[in-house]
Amino acid sequence: MTLDDLGTRICIMGPSNSGKSTLATAIGRARGLTPIHLDVLYHRPNTDWKPRPSEEFTALHDEAIRADNWVIDGNYSRLLPQRLARATGIILLDSSTAISLLRYLRRSWFERNRLGSLEGGKDSVKWAMIRHIAVTTRENRRRYKEMFVRISLPKVRLATTRELARFYRSERLGR
């Protein structure tokens, strides 16, 4: 399955810090699709990752997916049905817990102005996020895999960093 097979409205899902935002931006740049980072829609700008009211996030989400072309990264499962109803393809990233933790620490300590970062926000290491990656994500990974099998859209699963790197190369995506 190639990127062209996924169409012009692509959902990228996967665990926290698996590379979803970076991939969405790369695909957007290469294919002329608008990258939409759900974390940015969900959180209020100029805060330390404080969520918006639920109805505000839902309105922003639904407005974004009405567009003709996009590549959207993030999970937010309660809004997944309407996202998948509009999507033409899906990519599931499934990096390991260790890789996700390392990426989280790296982005929190060293990466400023990273792709998918919150406007006016400041990344910092939070115990709640470490716990989320180390504990909660294990169950989420199982759910994502089960869901992925049931989805009838064109789809790609990238289960390792090596597979992700190969995908970048084969699709000529820049980071």
pLDDT digits (tens, 9 = 90+) for 126-159: 888 788 788 877 778 888 888 899 999 999 999 9
Residue of 95, 86, 124 whose CA lies nearest to 13: 95
Q: Residue 36: what residue type?
A: I
Write out the residue range of the structural domain in which residue 49 sits.
Answer: 3-170
Return the higher-pLDDT residue of 94 and 7.
7
Total domains, the chain: 1
Is 175 part of a structural domain of the chain? no
pLDDT attached to residue 97: 81
Residues 2-13: pLDDT tens digits? 999 999 999 999
| CATH number assigned to the domain comprising residue 100 | 3.40.50.300
